[in-house]
């Protein structure tokens, strides 16, 4: 009698061939293109990635082109996808592959994991999907599928990092065509074995599912208790001069690292009319005549934090330094006109605030 892994493989392969979604990154075996898609898909919806994936590959069609590009070009192409650290690591990874592997993405999972930004899951995805190597990959979708199949009720055993999942995933991809089975596991979790309301009637492996047999499919995996994300209220300050507004480049580390944003100042409960002019001068080095606050804030949700950005405007007073419109006015500073954007692009939250301000 076949073991569980082989039985699952025999059921998953034909199901995937018949029911897989038609996604651009599934029409290629180019390891670079698959690598790009996997990085984009981290914490980002498939429909969002579809809008960026093709354009990014048109601009950077191979490792060498991406490696040779300036970081600002990469960030501009990534602008709007969020989690910009991914773009920087992808860029660094391309340079690593260019210098260490002659521009050819390696097929060895251990070598793949030495690439900046490529962890165990991404290495498994590239190795299995691009090179058809029997290499396990476990993300949240796969972990949920395997937890339900085995009726794992211990939350520690349900986690994507659990050793048992990686062992089982390895057995499954070895039991047939790795390229197909790796994607089938992910597809099953994304489209059928979903977190809420799994569609068990359409599941190709329902005959093997212990959670379904025990009536536990809605309670496995155990819902994670997440603390509310901390909220930060900040003034998004539009310092205006000659019809232009000041943008500053944030430090490379931290949220929106290296991105061009409006200066942000802590909003205290006593500050209702806008950021205090004295604080604006301290933060930006520009004195303002007066400050006008807009009524409604712009909300932006990060993975573990919520920003409430309160737009306010301040007209610059007489400035001692020469004004060079459209250029950096010192390191990490730029004055832009309405509709103008820095070369490296801006994050979505800054775009929202600028639109609110008419820029």
Bigger pLDDT: 339 or 204?
A: 204
Residue-averaged pLDDT of the chain: 91
209 and 242, same structural domain?
Answer: no
| Burial of residue 55 (number of CB atoms within 10 Å: 0-12, 13-18, 19+) | exposed
What ranges in the chain are assigned the alpha helix state H?
A: 4-19, 31-41, 46-59, 63-68, 71-78, 85-100, 109-112, 120-125, 131, 140-149, 155-158, 163-174, 178-191, 210-214, 277-284, 348-357
Q: Are residues 299 and 178 in the same domain?
A: no
Which residues have C-beta within 8 Å of that of residue 85, sequence separation ≥ 6?
Answer: 257
Last residue of a domain, one of 214, 239, 256: 214
Catalytic residue among 38, 71, 208, 351: 38
Torsion angle of alpha carbons 277, 281, 287, 291, nearest 10°?
-30
Q: Which of 151, 184, 214 is the last residue of a domain?
A: 214
Domain of 311?
A: 231-356
DSSP 53-106: HHHHHHHS-SHHHHHHS-HHHHHHHHTTS--THHHHHHHHHHHHHHHHSTTPPP
Q: How many CB atoms lie within 10 A of CB 320?
A: 5
Known catalytic membership, residue 153: no
Q: Does residue 250 belong to any structural domain of this protein?
A: yes
**71-78 vs 85-100: helix crossing angle, rounded to 10:** 130
For 252-307, what is each residue's pLDDT tens digit? 777 888 888 999 999 988 777 889 999 999 999 899 988 888 878 999 988 889 99
Query: pLDDT of 42-55, one tens digit each?
Result: 989 999 999 999 99
> Does 261 share its domain with 180?
no
Q: Tell me, yes or no, whether 94 and 186 share the same domain.
A: yes
Question: Residue 323 pLDDT more than 70?
Answer: no
Do 201 and 257 lie in a common domain? Answer: no
- Residue-level pLDDT at 320: 47
Round to whole Å and give the CA distance between 47 and 50: 5
Flag whether 222 is in a domain. no
Let me know if residue 187 belongs to a domain.
Answer: yes
For a pLDDT cut of 70, what percent of the chain falls above it?
Answer: 96
Number of domains in the chain: 2
């Amino acid at each position: 009698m076949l073991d569980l892994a082989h039985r699952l493989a025999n059921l998953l392969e034909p199901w995937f061939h018949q029911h897989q979604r038609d996604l651009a990154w599934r029409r290629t075996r180019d390891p670079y293109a698959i690598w790009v898609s996997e990085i984009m898909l981290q914490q980002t919806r498939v429909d969002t990635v579809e809008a960026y994936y093709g354009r990014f590959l048109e601009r950077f069609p191979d490792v060498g082109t991406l490696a040779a590009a300036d970081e600002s070009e990469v960030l501009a192409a990534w602008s709007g996808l969020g989690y910009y650290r991914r773009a920087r690591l992808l860029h660094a990874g391309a340079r690593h592959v260019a210098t260490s592997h002659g521009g050819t993405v390696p097929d060895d999972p251990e070598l793949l994991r030495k690439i900046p930004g490529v962890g165990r899951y991404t290495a498994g995805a590239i190795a299995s999907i691009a090179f058809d190597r029997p290499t396990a990959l476990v993300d949240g979708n796969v972990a949920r599928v395997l937890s339900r199949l085995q009726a794992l009720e211990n939350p520690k055993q349900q986690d994507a990092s659990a050793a048992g999942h990686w062992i089982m995933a390895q057995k499954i991809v070895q039991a047939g065509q790795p390229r197909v089975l790796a994607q089938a596991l992910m597809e099953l979790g994304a489209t059928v074995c979903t977190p809420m309301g799994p569609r068990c009637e359409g599941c190709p492996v329902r005959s093997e599912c212990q959670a379904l047999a025990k009536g536990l499919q809605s309670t496995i995996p155990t819902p994670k208790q997440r603390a509310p994300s901390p909220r930060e209220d900040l003034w998004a300050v539009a310092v205006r001069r000659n019809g232009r507004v000041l943008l500053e480049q944030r430090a490379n580390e931290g949220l929106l690292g290296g991105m061009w944003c409006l200066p942000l100042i802590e909003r205290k409960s006593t500050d209702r009319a806008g950021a205090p002019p004295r604080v604006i001068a301290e933060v930006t080095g520009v004195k303002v005549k007066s400050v006008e606050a807009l009524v409604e804030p712009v909300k932006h949700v990060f993975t573990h934090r919520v920003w409430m950005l309160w737009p306010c405007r301040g007209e610059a007073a007489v400035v001692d330094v020469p004004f060079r419109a459209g250029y950096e006015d010192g390191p990490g500073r730029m004055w832009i006109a309405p509709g103008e954007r820095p070369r490296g692009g801006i994050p979505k939250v800054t775009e929202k605030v600028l639109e609110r301000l008419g820029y």
